[in-house]
Amino acid sequence: MVMDTKHKASIIDGKAAALAVRDRLRQEVSALRDGRGIDPALAVILVGENPASKVYVRNKGRACEEAGIRSMQFTLGADTPQAELLSLIDKLNNSPDVHGILVQLPVPAHIDEGTVLEAISPQKDVDGFHPCNMGRLVAGAPLLAPCTPYGIMRLIETIGYDLGGKDAVIVGRSNIVGKPMALMLLHKNATVTVCHSRTKDLADKVRAADVVVAAIGKERFIKGDWIKEGAVVMDVGINRTTSGGLAGDVDFEGAASRASWITPVPGGVGPMTIAMLLENTVKAARLSMKGNV
Ligand code: NDP
């Protein structure tokens, strides 16, 4: 998936790649419904009033509808006791009509995120954050894999890039992006370095990378002259700029003058993250057919 560009780098068009996934899923969903009597459904739980979370939940609901996936949204007040949230998750775990369950993060401070994520049935854990799914990812046999790194792997596949023997540097070590990304790249035979806020000589590490994944949360933090000629650059960051736009964690202009492939922000990794959520939901619906729930 490539867009024309005046830069040296070809731009990886995440929007187009995501659209292709969603088109395919629409067909799979109707085949499941008509052929197997399964109506894939995703339950999204939002606790509190975080404005960004509300937008994410709304977008996920819309994406579901477009793919023909039933979407259910549960909005709980910011002071909802943890026990109440756990009881809702339990109900959804036991409902045969619900195939995927997602709790929008972050949850309010009085709720323990780990406890909540562990309460979701691993077969319905479409975010792939349950320790069981994380463990399976470590072992190289993921059931449901975290959407953002999963989407990045798909984008790398769409450009036909062989990761075997390549040096990959990930900046950021969160449980939702950096760590699972490292495992996925490792499984495809890249040599992986994971950097974080205590990493020494970060620029030099990035300069040595054939593949750079930036997941930091700081606008244009990775400078153009850190990028090795011909590198593949995957920018996960979503940062609101002072002018009201969005920018990634990479200085796009500088990096695009040296890289061979680069994802834009917006329109790169973000749309694929949502597409992988839909894909995981359809996968979870199939798992339910196998009587795993
Ligand atoms: P976290 O805040 O959980 O993690 C950020 C990571 O960056 C940490 O590991 C941190 O290191 C590291 N970091 C911070 N400062 C530096 C520094 N100066 N040098 C090196 N490393 C540093 O963020 P997430 O992983 O959740 O998200 C990262 C970005 O990706 C955000 O902008 C987020 O909005 C975006 N995002 C986008 C998604 C998409 O679909 N496109 C999905 C998920 C996230 P340390 O661990 O030492 O603190």
111 C-beta closer than 6 A to ligand 1: no
Q: What pLDDT sits at residue 141?
A: 94
Domain boundaries 146-270, CATH class:
alpha beta
Whether 5 shows a pLDDT value over 80: the answer reads no
Q: Can you name the CATH fold of 36-121?
A: Rossmann fold (3.40.50)
Q: What pLDDT sits at residue 2?
A: 57
| Residue 289's pLDDT band (cuts 50, 70, 90) | confident
Topology alike, domains 36-121 and 146-270: yes
Strand bridging mode 246-247 / 239-240: antiparallel
> 199 burial class (0-12, 13-18, 19+ CB within 10 angstroms)?
middle
Q: What pLDDT sits at residue 215?
A: 98
180 C-beta closer than 6 A to ligand 1: no
104 as an active site residue: the answer is: yes
Cis peptide bond prior to 271, omega within 30° of 0: no
* Phi, psi at 96, each rounded to 5°: -70, -15
- In Å, how far are 13, 163, 187, 232, 250 from 221, measured between CA atoms? 22, 25, 28, 17, 6
- To the nearest whole percent, how much of the chain has pLDDT over 90? 96
The atom of ligand 1 lying closest to the CA of 199 is 20
The pLDDT tens digits of the residues spanning 176-200 come to 999 999 999 999 999 999 999 999 9
Q: What pLDDT sits at residue 3?
A: 53
Locate the domains of the chain by residue range: 36-121, 146-270
Residue nearest to atom 42 of ligand 1 (CA): 148
60 as an active site residue: the answer is: yes
- The angle subtended at Cα 157 by Cα 156 and Cα 163, nearest 5°, is 65
